[in-house]
């Protein structure tokens, strides 16, 4: 199996607009998340889909000039900023100020999203990290033997102690800890530059 792109190399490769594989992976990773971000603020699904495409188009255009600079959350914050800007532009075109479904009005929501310390921004950041982590875990699963993956899942995702997992799987506690370490190492490689929580 070919070695999948790691996230830093994904961002670097995606700067080259001719690298279709990198753009396809970036699109697969981020389009669903961006749609979840914009959907509560847009009444029509078609408009939300158009907004997602506008965000992705902006991303294509601006990514070559993006400077990650190794700052934690830099890409996530930049993507959130692009999304908020496109939402502002969407509502300015319509000269309207609708209320968000079940939440604050749009002007207040967009102001909160522009403030990286607001609860709404932090919620978006958490959703981003969760989405990217889950997507990356799915992308690396087949790189590991089933027993290695199961040991990782039982410890990290299910919260089981290594000794219990070892007994359950019939392997040593050291083997369980090594399995966890191997999967987390690969996940860190894939998440570098995109998710800064590991």
Structural domains for the chain? 7-143 (no CATH), 144-198 (1.10.10)
- Flag whether pLDDT at 1 surpasses 90: no
Please state, as a whole number, how many other Cβ atoms lie within 10 Å of the Cβ of residue 125: 18
Q: Which residue has the higher pLDDT, 70 or 40?
A: 40
Helix (H, G, I), strand (E, B) or coil at 110: helix
Distance CA(91)–CA(106), nearest Å, equals: 9
Instruction: Please provide the average confidence, as pLDDT, over all residues in the chain.
Output: 83
- What are 13-68's pLDDT values in tens digits? 777 777 788 888 888 889 999 998 888 888 788 989 999 999 999 988 888 888 77
Query: Token match 């968000």: residue?
Result: 100
- Flag whether pLDDT at 101 surpasses 50: no
- What are 118-153's pLDDT values in tens digits? 888 888 889 988 998 999 999 999 999 999 999 999
Angle between the N-to-C axes of helices 20-38 and 45-62, in degrees from 0 to 180, rounded to the nearest 10: 140
Which structure tokens are listed for 198?
Answer: 């590991």
Angle between the N-to-C axes of helices 7-14 and 20-38, in degrees from 0 to 180, rounded to the nearest 10: 100
């Amino acid at each position: 199996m070919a070695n999948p792109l790691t996230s830093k190399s994904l961002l670097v490769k995606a700067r080259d607009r001719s690298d279709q594989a990198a753009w396809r992976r970036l699109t697969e990773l981020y389009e669903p998340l961006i749609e979840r971000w914009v959907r509560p603020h847009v009444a029509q699904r078609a408009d939300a889909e158009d907004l997602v495409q506008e965000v992705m188009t902006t991303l294509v255009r601006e990514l070559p000039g993006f400077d990650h600079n190794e700052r934690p959350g830099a890409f996530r914050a930049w993507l959130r900023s692009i999304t908020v800007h496109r939402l502002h532009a969407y509502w300015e075109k319509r000269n309207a100020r609708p209320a968000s479904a079940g939440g604050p009005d749009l002007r207040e929501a967009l102001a909160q999203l522009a403030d990286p310390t607001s609860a709404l921004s932090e919620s978006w950041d958490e959703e981003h990290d969760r989405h990217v982590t889950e997507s990356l875990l799915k992308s690396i699963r087949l790189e590991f033997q089933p027993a290695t993956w199961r040991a990782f899942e039982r410890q990290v995702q299910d919260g089981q102690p290594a000794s219990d997992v070892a007994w359950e799987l019939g392997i040593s506690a050291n083997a369980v800890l090594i399995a966890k370490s191997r999967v987390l190492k690969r996940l860190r490689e894939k998440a570098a530059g995109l998710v800064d929580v590991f």
